[in-house]
Amino acid sequence: MNNIYKSIYNEIKRYKKIYIARHIGPDPDAFGSQMALRDSIRLTFPDKEVYAVGTTVSRFKYFGKVDKVNSYDYENSLLIVVDTPDIKRVDIDEFLSFKHVVKIDHHPLVDVFGDVEYIREDASSASELVLELLENTKLKLSESIASKIFIGIVSDTNRFLYGTNDKTFLTVSNLVKKYNLETDKLYNLVYSKPLSEVRLMGYIASSLKVDKYGFANIWIDEDIINSFGADISAASNMINDFNNINEIIVWTFVTYDVKNALYKVNIRSRGPVINEIAAKYNGGGHKFASGVRNTDKSQIEELLKDLSEACREYLEKDDKNGNN
């Protein structure tokens, strides 16, 4: 058993009570890795108290329900955080009060906060890392757990379009074969859309502003989203549907969360590295898929200028290298 797998497994064995958290604004990989790990630990150790915690998102109800916890045992329990590189984005009350923490993540390192940390940037997703943990320890797998992991991997790679290598394909192929997964049904859970969202996507496509450097941007008001019968999370997740447009190399969706007085920016790129830019504005993520959350509108406007400038520099570099 690899040392890191053994270390995490020993931590899981050690504690009677375990909480599993992920990042705020969760995506299917965050949910998939969290819920799969919870279900596996419960299946392997029926006597343990294992809770998946964080904000509920109705559109991801196919993963099952998160657990309601009235109070946390910060001293005598284990907290496992998946798919979250930085402290400020962990979706759990008083995170820093936990005495024993394990971190499992595939993002570039931002904060060191785990007693045990399993970080691999070359992994496609946190779900892939959870699968590796299960396959290399005595933690149990089932068809239901495998399905959650499959959805996490498929979603975070946008159906294997990016962040994918030969190991990812082999891993998923073996998972599908071993547990006889009905991939068409699992795809439909993630990618089927109501007509309201399709109409909203049409509005976004027609309203997207693209500058001469290939930077595209749209500010989407909550009132507009509501007028289509959709929600903010649905609008934000549509950003992956705008990949592979010839005239665009970086694109952003800006939404405003009225309840939390917070601007949310989803950023994608087909060339320029964007996570370092996002980090300047209270954000982060991967080189070509990042996000920002900020209360200051002027900061968001500066972010958009920096992204446009990154596109300009990228095109100039391409011209010098004779790629155009």
Mean pLDDT of 132-147: 97
Q: What is the pLDDT of residue 161?
A: 80
Question: Whole-model pTM?
Answer: 0.86
pLDDT band at 271 (very low <50, low <70, confident <90, very high): very high
pLDDT at 68 over 70: yes
Lowest mean pLDDT among 131-140, 173-182, 216-225: 216-225
pLDDT at 208 over 80: yes
pLDDT at 270 over 90: yes
Query: Which tens digits make up the pLDDT trace of 21-37?
Result: 999 889 999 999 999 99
Q: What is the pLDDT of residue 231?
A: 80
Mean pLDDT of 155-172: 89
Return the closest-CA partner of residue 226 out of 274, 259, 249, 251: 259
Q: What is the pLDDT of residue 1?
A: 56
Q: Answer positive or negative: Cα dihedral of 120, 126, 129, 130.
A: positive
Q: What is the pLDDT of residue 50?
A: 98
Return the closest-CA partner of residue 307 out of 281, 207, 244: 281
DSSP category for residue 140: -
Domains recognised in the chain with CATH numbers: 3-190 (3.90.1640.10), 196-320 (3.10.310.30)
Q: Is 224 exposed, middle or buried, given 0-12, 13-18 or 19+ CB atoms closer than 10 A?
A: middle
Q: What is the pLDDT of residue 176?
A: 97
Query: Which tens digits make up the pLDDT trace of 209-265?
Result: 999 999 999 999 888 999 999 887 778 888 988 888 999 999 999 998 888 889 999
pLDDT band at 2 (very low <50, low <70, confident <90, very high): confident
pLDDT at 324 over 60: no
Mean pLDDT of 6-34: 96
Residue 262: strand pairing partners: 257
For residues 90 and 84, is the Cβ–Cβ distance under 8 A? Answer: yes
| Cα 254 from Cα 264, distance rounded (Å) | 6
